[in-house]
């Protein structure tokens, strides 16, 4: 029987020579076993070890070799167990056995310290690379499609993605080595894992972009942009679609065994649950300061990635609706030299200038940019507070909701902004114990500066 197994698994000897030392030692010891039953049991144990190491492709290859061997016909129990394991790996096992297998994988993967460390390191490196690329593009003296706006965002995202997948693979290997685990560091294994990471992460980001755009398009018209159930539905649906797309790409590339539609859906759901659990554990593991730092990188990248505002005068654009969902974030570049106290004067202006004056203020784009800077700083402060607190706490929810209110300030004038902010004042009043008092004081200060400026310049 040993010769039969060697003849069926001859192609296995070369891959196993590149396996971790413990598996290589087990295989070399098993080669000298003369008892057919003990030899088969040893191969089953080797298959289980490969499954636990995450190498399901080689494990499936081993089980298939056991099933093909002639001598296993005399060992029906051994062949049956090999068939059961192969069916589980191929997605054709019974519901109970497959559920148990997926739950075991979920528990092992979600709480794996190496995976959590790799997620944090890869995500941080993606953000740093994206921000550095955006900063370099925005600093170029000539503006073009590739250095401003969507083109710059696409290039920066591609640069960050290019380092994210290999960073995840290397960080996972290094963390496993630090934990005392035996890791396969061969070039072939790293190349396969990195290629798989590119396919899955790329599909996740593509599906996330599609779901985010669909959420904004569907939810904004019905006023449900801040509704958490709808947002969660779009977010999780996008992640599930990305995982399924990534698995399909892995199958096409020969990096994953093919399985049925039901098995693919079940595996994708298990992976989605694993991502959510691991993400929550990573937030607790790295702490609120790390989350606030990452959120700050996202805000800075978002600010740099926005196209510069066009010069807008009081007669250049028609009045817009006060609740057009357009964030008022400052564009990249040198801040305006005007003081913040001068900004509300122009923003209070209608088409005829400040109320009752009949005049048009000078340099409206600079005045407008000054107010954008004040709103941007307020929003940035709120976002940082929300990121540093517990995401589920009342304070974090209120800070994030207030920031969303302020991001929807109108682009026509600050007068419309204040006139339409009755819901925001009500929001502050309802949350006096959390953030309402501070918010009301800030809003009152903005109004007082605005009206004082109007009185001093136009004898209001």
367 has pLDDT over 50: no
Contact between 380 and 330 under an 8 Å Cβ cutoff? The reply is no
Judged on CB neighbours under 10 Å (0-12, 13-18, 19+), 315 is exposed
pLDDT of res. 343: 36
Contact 382, 375 (CB under 8 A): no
Percent of the chain topping pLDDT 90: 3
Tell me the C-alpha distance between 109 and 103, whole Å. 10
Which SS3 state, helix, strand or coil, does residue 31 take? Answer: coil
Task: Please name the residue ranges forming H helices in 139-227.
Answer: 149-178, 187-219
The model's pLDDT over 150-169, given as tens digits with 9 standing for 90+, comes to 888 889 989 999 999 899 88
CB contact set of 365 (below 8 Å; sequence gap of 6+):
309, 311, 312, 313
Q: Over the stretch 402-436, which tens digit does the pLDDT of each residue have? A: 777 666 654 445 555 555 555 555 655 555 555 55
Handedness of CA 219, 225, 228, 234 (dihedral sign): positive
Cβ–Cβ < 8 Å for 42, 49:
no
pLDDT at 191 over 80: yes
- 125 pLDDT band, cuts 50/70/90, is very high
What is the mean pLDDT of the segment spanning 382-406? 73
Mean pLDDT of all residues in the chain? 68
Amino acid 192: pLDDT: 84
pLDDT tens readout for residues 223-244 = 555 556 777 888 888 889 999 9
Minimum mean pLDDT range among 235-239, 327-331, 361-365, 375-379: 327-331
| Whole-number pLDDT of residue 399 | 76
Residue of higher predicted confidence among 458 and 303: 303
Instruction: Look at residue 323 and tell me whether its pLDDT is greater than 50.
Output: no
pLDDT computed for residue 351 by the predictor: 37
Chain position carrying tokens 């649906």 = 237
Query: Residues for the chain: how many in total?
Result: 460
Q: Determine the Cα–Cα distance for residues 167 and 173; give it in Å rounded to an integer.
A: 10
pLDDT reported for residue 189: 75
Residue 126: which pLDDT band, with cuts at 50, 70 and 90? Answer: very high
Contact 334, 436 (CB under 8 A): no
Tell me, what's the pLDDT at 333? 38
Query: What residues contact residue 151 under an 8 Å CB cut-off, 6+ apart?
Result: 144, 145
The sign of the torsion formed by the CA atoms of 199, 165, 298, 159 equals negative
pLDDT of residue 326: 37
- Percentage helix, strand, coil, to 5, in the chain? 75, 0, 25
Does the structure show a pLDDT above 80 at 251? yes
Provide mean pLDDT across the span 161-183. 83
Domain ranges of the chain: 2-90, 109-286, 343-458
pLDDT at 100: 65
pLDDT band at 92 (very low <50, low <70, confident <90, very high): low
- pLDDT of 63: 79
Residue 129 predicted with pLDDT over 90: yes
The answer for residues whose C-beta is within 8 angstroms of residue 386's C-beta and 6 or more apart is: 295, 395, 396, 397, 399, 400, 403
Which tokens sit at 346? 């122009």
Q: In the prediction, which pLDDT does 159 show?
A: 92
pLDDT given at position 99? 63
324 pLDDT exceeds 50? no
pLDDT digits (tens, 9 = 90+) for 38-66: 877 887 888 777 777 666 667 777 777 77
């Amino acid at each position: 029987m040993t010769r039969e197994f060697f003849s069926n698994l001859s192609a296995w000897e070369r891959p196993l020579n590149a396996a971790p030392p413990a598996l290589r030692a087990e295989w070399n010891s098993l080669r000298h076993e003369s008892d057919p039953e003990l030899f088969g049991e040893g191969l089953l144990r080797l298959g289980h070890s490969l499954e636990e190491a995450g190498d399901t492709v080689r494990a499936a290859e081993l089980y298939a070799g056991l099933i093909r061997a002639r001598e296993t016909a005399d060992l029906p129990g051994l062949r049956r167990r090999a068939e059961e394991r192969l069916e589980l790996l191929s997605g054709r096992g019974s519901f109970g056995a497959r559920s148990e297998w997926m739950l075991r994988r979920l528990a092992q993967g979600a709480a794996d310290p190496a995976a959590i460390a790799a997620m944090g390191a890869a995500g941080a490196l993606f953000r740093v690379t994206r921000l550095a690329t955006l900063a370099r593009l925005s600093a170029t003296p000539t503006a073009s499609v590739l250095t401003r706006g969507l083109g710059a965002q696409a290039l920066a995202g591609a640069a960050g993605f290019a380092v994210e997948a290999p960073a995840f693979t290397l960080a996972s290997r290094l963390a496993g080595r630090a934990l005392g685990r035996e890791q396969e560091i061969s070039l072939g294994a790293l190349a396969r894992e990195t290629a798989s990471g590119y396919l899955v992460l790329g599909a996740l980001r593509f599906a996330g972009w599609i779901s985010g755009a669909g959420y904004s398009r569907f939810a904004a018209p019905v006023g449900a942009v801040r509704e958490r159930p709808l947002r969660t539905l779009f977010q999780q649906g996008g992640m599930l679609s990305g995982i399924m797309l990534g698995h399909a790409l892995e199958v096409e590339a020969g990096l994953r065994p093919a399985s049925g539609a039901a098995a693919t859906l079940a595996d994708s759901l298990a992976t989605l649950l694993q991502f959510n659990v691991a993400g929550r554990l990573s937030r607790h593991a790295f702490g609120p300061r790390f989350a606030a730092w990452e959120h700050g990188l996202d805000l800075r990248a978002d600010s740099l990635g926005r196209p510069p505002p066009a010069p807008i005068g009081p007669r250049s654009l028609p009045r817009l609706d006060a609740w057009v969902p357009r964030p008022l974030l400052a564009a990249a570049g040198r801040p305006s030299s005007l003081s913040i106290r001068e900004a509300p004067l122009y923003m209070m202006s209608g088409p005829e200038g400040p109320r009752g004056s009949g005049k048009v203020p000078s340099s409206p784009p600079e005045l407008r940019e000054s107010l954008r800077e004040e709103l941007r700083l307020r929003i940035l402060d709120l976002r940082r507070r929300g990121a540093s607190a517990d995401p589920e706490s009342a304070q974090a929810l209120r800070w994030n909701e207030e920031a969303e209110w302020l991001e929807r300030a109108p682009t026509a004038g600050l007068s419309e902004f204040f006139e339409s902010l009755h819901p925001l004042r009500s929001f502050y009043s309802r949350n006096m114990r959390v953030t309402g008092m501070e918010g009301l004081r800030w809003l009152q200060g903005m109004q007082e500066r605005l009206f004082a400026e109007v009185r001093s310049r136009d004898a209001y």
